[in-house]
Amino acid sequence: MTLDTPRRVVALVPAAGRGVRLGEATPKAFVPVGGSPMLVRAIDGLIASGVVDRIVIMAPIELLDDARKLLAARAHAASSIPVDVVPGGAERTDSVRAGLAAASDATHILVHDAARALTPPALIARVVAELAAGHRAVVPGLPVADTIKSVSADGAVTGTPERAALRAIQTPQGFDAELLRTAYAAELSATDDAGLVEACGATVRVIAGDALAFKITGPLDLRLAEALLSGADHTSGQVGGQQEKRTAVPR
């Protein structure tokens, strides 16, 4: 991509996880929260951010049609933003790799977990604003409340990193598309996409995350999401009393 290439932001949404820790029969992204599947809420947030040009969802292969029907039945059908559904893979990195293959038109890529269903659109816009400002890898992160320790397989503490320097990393994670492709081509392993980019020697910028971008992983997270949505004012875009604001991103 040259400096003259117009920015085209494609959001990849990994939604192919089984969600074993949630304890539901349905794959996690299809579990409803506040009456809508997590996947639908995540897509709604990406569209509402106003900074995404196209969305690619990676769904379990047996649920491709269900995913397409869900999206067609929602407001996305009325949105001008194309939403495609492709099969995910066995691991999250396999799913993201499948999404990358379907996003050759992207100059910038957001990778955003369907399980972070309540992510405020303003956070998504802030990540893209940082990409637009020239940063090649941008992730939201929150200070950690607990003390974190590394522990050996037999349960002995091997270290206590200084808490003030730690951040719990969320999605959307934003990347220059070429950088993310290079990172995935290296076939390394990491627990998030930024980890792959770091392993290639690139600098990853952390911006302030948002508590509402928490990942719905276990039953307690699901209850929290339900409680937040039951108190939400859907007409004003407020969830849990936090007002949504759009961030202007220069095109």
Binding site for ligand C5P (CB under 6 A): 14-17, 28-29, 58, 88-92, 95, 113-115, 215, 217
Q: Count other C-beta atoms under 10 Å from residue 153's C-beta.
A: 5
Closest to ligand C5P by CB, 113 vs 176, is: 113
Nearer to ligand C5P, 111 or 129 (CB): 111
Which residue, 39 or 137, is less far from ligand C5P as judged by CB? 39
Closest by CA to 191, choosing from 164, 218, 173, 176, is: 173
Q: Which contacts (CB < 8 Å, 24+ apart) does range 217-220 have?
A: 217/21, 217/22, 217/115, 218/21, 218/22, 218/23, 219/22, 219/23
Least CB distance to ligand C5P at residue 109 (A): 15
The helix/strand/coil state of 214 is: coil
CB of residue 33 to ligand C5P, shortest distance in Å: 13
> Could you tell me if 22 and 51 are in contact, meaning their C-beta atoms sit under 8 angstroms apart?
no
Q: Which CB atom, from 50 or from 89, has the smaller least distance to ligand C5P?
A: 89
- Least distance between ligand C5P and beta carbon 16 (Å): 3
Q: Which helix (H) or strand (E) holds 55?
A: strand 54-59
Shortest CB 156 distance to ligand C5P, Å:
27
